[in-house]
Amino acid sequence: METILSSKEIKTICKELADKLYDKFKSSKTIPVFICVLKGANPFFIDLTRAYKGPLIYDYMQLSSYSGTSTTGVIHLSKDLTENIKGKDVVIVEDVVDTGLTLSYVKEYIKIKYMPKSITVVCLIDKKALRRVDFEPDYSGFVIRENKFLMGYGLDYKEIGRNFDFVFVPDKKTVEEWEEMLKNNK
Ligand code: IMP
Ligand code: MG
């Protein structure tokens, strides 16, 4: 198995991104609302917001576009926001930008429906290989140019493996073992 980001590297990335975001919002008169895009962004959201030096508000949104190891291209919104974000600075926190479809949809949806003061998009990993729409995150922790299926630290293989504290490319043997376990797990 190939490690893409170690736990230590992730910690450094979170601190750097949190400081950049803090610099951006420290003189704002309103409190920024950080939105976690479930489920994948969950660990990154927690570590990033804990490294942030000022007050902020949490909110959550859930979408899906993936089936197994590839994107379906159809985005389904299963959980919407609960905070009032109109006129606020909003930070969308995502694990990975891949085709860019999810984040361009989320950004447009939030902009039109809630009219926040600003929208900033931050992602842990920017996967450049399969981009389908012209979308760039405002901040990203790590850029990967090859098309690799990543796992760990929120990223899943058929819903498993989000709990690992590092990001990696699973090897064939590991995937086969998991497939066996998934069969028994039905
Ligand atoms: P996009 O809409 O294609 O940009 O995909 C974004 C979503 O797909 C991310 O939020 C992830 O949840 C998921 N995703 C993209 N690449 C990977 C990967 O390599 N492993 C696991 N999930 C991924
Ligand atoms: Mg995600």
Ligand closest in space to the Cα of 66: 1
Percent with pLDDT over 70 in the chain: 95
CATH of residue 30: 3.40.50.2020
Given ligand 1 and candidates 155, 167, 168, 175, which is best to mutate, with the most ligand atoms within 8 Å of its CB? 155
User: Is the shortest distance between the CB of 126 and ligand 1 below 6 Å?
Assistant: no
Tell me how far the alpha carbon of residue 1 lies from the centroid of ligand 2, in angstroms.
22
Domain count, the chain: 1
Using 50, 70 and 90 to split pLDDT, how confident is the model at 173? very high
The pLDDT of residue 155 is above 90: yes
At 73 the pLDDT is 67
At 72 the pLDDT is 65
At 60 the pLDDT is 98
Triad 12, 100, 104: Cα angle to 5°: 105
Ligand 1, atom 8: closest residue by C-alpha: 66
At 147 the pLDDT is 92
Tell me how far the alpha carbon of residue 29 lies from the centroid of ligand 1, in angstroms.
34
* 54-101 pLDDT per residue, tens: 999 999 999 877 665 666 667 888 999 999 999 999 999 999 999 999
* 93-134 pLDDT per residue, tens: 999 999 999 999 999 999 999 999 999 999 999 999 989 999
Q: Both tokens of residue 109?
A: 């949806």
Global pTM value: 0.94
Do 102 and 37 meet the contact criterion of CB atoms below 8 Å apart?
A: yes
At 71 the pLDDT is 62
- Which of 61, 31, 36 minimizes the C-alpha distance to 47? 36
Q: DSSP characters for the chain? A: -EEEE-HHHHHHHHHHHHHHHHHHHTT-SS--EEEEEETTTHHHHHHHHHH--S--EEEEEEEEEEETTEEEEEEEEEE---S--TTSEEEEEEEEESSSHHHHHHHHHHHHHH--SEEEEEEEEEE-TT--S----SEEEEEE-S----BBTTB-BTTB-TT-SSEEEPPHHHHHHHHHHHHHT-
User: Is the shortest distance between the CB of 102 and ligand 1 below 6 Å?
Assistant: yes
Segments forming the whole domain that contains residue 128:
2-184
The pLDDT of residue 158 is above 80: yes
* 3-32 pLDDT per residue, tens: 999 999 999 999 999 999 999 999 999 999
Q: What are phi and psi of 125, to 5 degrees?
A: -125, 130
R_g (Cα) of the chain, nearest Å: 17
Using 50, 70 and 90 to split pLDDT, how confident is the model at 154? very high
